[in-house]
Amino acid sequence: MCLRLLNKLWRRTPLAGTDDCPLLDRARLVPVLTGLVAALPFVLPLAGCGPWLWLAGLERQGPYAPVVLLKTEQLERPVITFSDPVYRPAFWTSMDENDPAAGRAAGFFVTLATADPARTAFRLVDVQTGRSLMLFRLAGPATPYEQAAGAAPRVFNRAAYERLAEGAGVFWYTGAADGGHRFGLLVPESVLGPFVWLEMYTSTADDGTPINAARLELVRDFFYVAIIGDSIAWGNGLEEQDKFTALVMRTIERSLQRKVVWQRYAQSGARLVPTRGDSICLWSCSGEVPVASTSVMVQADLIERPERMNLVLLSGCINDVGLDTLLTPATTDDQLATLTERFCRDEMATLLFKLGRVAPQALLVVVGYYPIISEESDALALQIWDQTRGALDSEGGASVVAELAAQCDFFCRVAHASLRAAVQQLNDASGSTIAAFADPGFGPQNATFASDPWLWGLTSEAAFVRGLALNYDLFPEDPLRDFRLDNCLADYVKQETISCVYASVGHPNRRGARAYAEAVNACLRQLGVLPADGGVP
C-alpha cells in the first residue's frame, strides 16, 4: 500500500505538463512540490510506510540506497551538550573467554533503516591516519541472551573470539526491529581512539568508499574539559585549531586515547570579579567580539555538569587590574602591586575554591601572562598602536617605551607570584595537588613589536579595510580581522569600533599559543594527567 501511494503521488506531480493540467504551471509547481514533501512525514505512517519500507522504495529507484541510523543500544553520549555524534561503549567483554588478559571488546547494537540488511556492511575509519578496518559478518551468538531488547552481548561463538583475537571487529544480524534492522557488533578496544568513525552502508564507489552511509564517532571514553577566562583563554586572533586550548586538548586525546568533550565560556575583555554590567550572552555569542560582558566568576556558574569535569583551564585578573592602569606611566609600583595582589591572588583564590566545590573531580590549571611591552618593542609601531587604541595613554608612546616595559615586567612578576599563591592555597586546603600554574615563559624579545614576537602585531597588507576611510597605514595581522570587522560594526556591540577591530594586537599569535600549550602540558604531566615520559599511561 505504501509504495502504491508513493507511486500515485509521484505520477500526479510530473515535471513536464499538459495544457489541461493547471497544476503544472511553472509558477505553481514549486509550492506544490514543497507542500507534498512537507506532508510526507504525516501521510506515510498512515499508509503503513515505515522507515525501511520507505528506503526499500528508494532502492527501487536506484542502486545507491542510503542507510539511516535509527537507534543505538549499549552506547552512551556525552553528559554535556555536544554537537558531534560521538558515543562511548557502555559494555565491555573479554576477547577470550578463557584468558581475561587477552584484552577487551566493546559490545553494542545499532538499528538501521536499510533497504537490504543482507548487503549492509560496517567499517571503522581512523580519520587522522586514514586507516580503515572492515568488520566481519558472522552468524549470531551461540546463546539467545543478547537477542532481548537492550541486553548486552556476553557469550559468543568460537569464530567471534578468533576474529577478536586477530584484532578484527565482527557483526551479526538479529532481525527486524523498531521499524528497521538490528545488528550486534563487537569491536576490540585496541582499534578505538579519539578519531575513529563507524560507517554503516550498503553501497560503495569503485574505490571502495561508502555511499550514503550512516556514521557515528566511536571512542573508548570521554575526557571532559571546561575553559573559562579572559582573552588569553579565548585566544584572540587565533583560528580554532591554533588556540592553545585546542593544542592541549589534542595532546590529551593522543596521549590518553580518549575523546575530549569540551565547553568554553572564556571571552575577550572578561573581568575576574562580577561588575554592575555583568550579563550572559544568549544569542550571537563569540568570545572574539562579545555582545555581553560575563565575568569569569559567572562563567564558572555556566559550566554544564561541573561535577563530571576532568579538567578546567582558566585565566583571569589582568582586566580587573585594567590595561589603562597597567599601560599608564603615572601608575606607581605600589598602586599596581596592590591591585594585582588583590585580583590575581585573593580573588583568584576565591574562584579556585569555588571550582573546587562545584567541580570536585576536576584538576585546575591557571595560566599566566607576559610582558605586553618590553624594551625591545619598536617605538614607531607602538605609536601607531597608541593612535588606534589609546592603550598607552601617552604622547605617542615612543618616549615612554622603557618606562612601560618596566611596568609590564613588574606586573608579570607580581601577577605570577600572586597566581602561584592562589593555587598553593587551594592545594594546601585540599591536602593534595589538584591545581597548577602555567607560566608561558615569554621573554623581552617576544613582546609586542619586538624582535621575535609571540604576540599579534600590525601589517600593511590589509586591503580589506581600504574602503573604510580609516586614517591608518597598519592594521591587525591576524586571520580573524575580517570576522571582527564584520561584527564590530554591529549595533549590539558596545565596544568602540576601532578598539574592537584592533583587539588581537598584543595577544598571543600561533607561536605564543604553542608556548602556552607547552606550559600547560608540563602542568598536566605534573598533575598526572599526561605521562611524564610523553607516552601513554
Give the 3-state secondary structure of residue 51. Answer: helix
Rounded to 5 degrees, what angle do the CA atoms 227, 517, 261 make? 40
Structure confidence at residue 32 as a pLDDT band (50, 70, 90): very low
Answer yes or no: are the C-beta atoms of 449 and 377 closer than 8 Å: yes
Whether pLDDT at 352 is above 60: yes
Q: Given this model, what pLDDT does residue 25 score? A: 44
**Predicted confidence (pLDDT) at residue 343 exceeds the cutoff of 70:** yes
Any idea what DSSP says for residue 194? T
pLDDT at 101: 73
Distance CA 294, CA 424 (A): 26
**Residues β-bridged to residue 314:** 228, 366
Alpha carbon 215 to its chain centroid, in Å, reads: 19
pLDDT in tens, 212-224: 999 999 999 999 9
**Residue carrying C-alpha cell 606586573:** 411
Q: Which residues pair with 183 in a beta bridge?
A: 110, 173
The whole-number pLDDT of residue 468 equals: 47
The stretches of 322-400 forming alpha helices (DSSP H) are 323-326, 333-340, 348-358, 379-389
Q: Is the pLDDT of residue 150 over 70?
A: no
The candidate with the shortest Cα–Cα distance to 472, out of 395, 383, 400, is: 383
Cell numbers placing 125: 575509519
pLDDT higher at 490 or 196 = 196
For residue 15, what pLDDT is reported? 41
Helix, coil or strand: residue 121 = strand
The domains of the chain are located at: 68-218, 222-526
Higher local confidence (pLDDT), 488 or 441 = 441
Strands (E), 290-434: 311-314, 363-367
pLDDT of residue 379: 83
Q: How many CA atoms lie within 13 A of 291 on its CB side?
A: 11
**Segment 290-328, tens digit of pLDDT:** 888 999 999 999 999 999 999 999 999 999 999 989 988
Report the pLDDT value the prediction gives residue 6, as an integer from 0 to 100. 44
Q: How far is CA 349 from the centre of its chain?
A: 27
Q: What is the pLDDT of residue 392?
A: 56
Among 3-17, 74-88, 509-523, which is the least confidently predicted range? 3-17
182: CB partners within 8 A, 6+ apart: 109, 110, 111, 112, 173, 174, 175, 176
Coil/strand/helix, residue 29: helix
Check whether 110 has a pLDDT greater than 50: yes
What lies within 8 Å, CB to CB, of 410 at 6+ separation is 333, 336, 337
Of 138-142, 157-161, 259-263, which range is least confident?
138-142
Q: Residue 395 has what pLDDT?
A: 53
CA–CA distance, 42 with 325 (Å, rounded to integer): 64
When pLDDT is averaged across residues 161-168 and rounded to a whole number, the result is: 83
When the pLDDT of each residue in the chain is averaged and rounded to a whole number, the result is: 83
pLDDT band at 165 (very low <50, low <70, confident <90, very high): confident
Select the more confidently predicted residue: 510 or 168: 510
In sequence order, the 6+-apart residues with CB closer than 8 A to the CB of 235 are: 242, 243, 244, 245, 287, 507, 508, 513
- Kindly report the length of the chain: 537
376: number of Cβ within 10 Å: 19
- Taking CA atoms, 455 is separated from 194, 295, 449, 481, 519, in Å, by 31, 24, 8, 15, 16
Taking the C-alpha atoms of residue 186 and residue 57, their distance in angstroms, rounded to an integer, is 31
Quickly name the fold that domain 222-526 has. Answer: Rossmann fold (3.40.50)
Residue tagged 576532568 (cell numbers): 310
At 79 the pLDDT is: 93
Q: What percent of the chain has pLDDT over 70?
A: 78
Instruction: Find the mean pLDDT for residues 228-247.
Output: 97
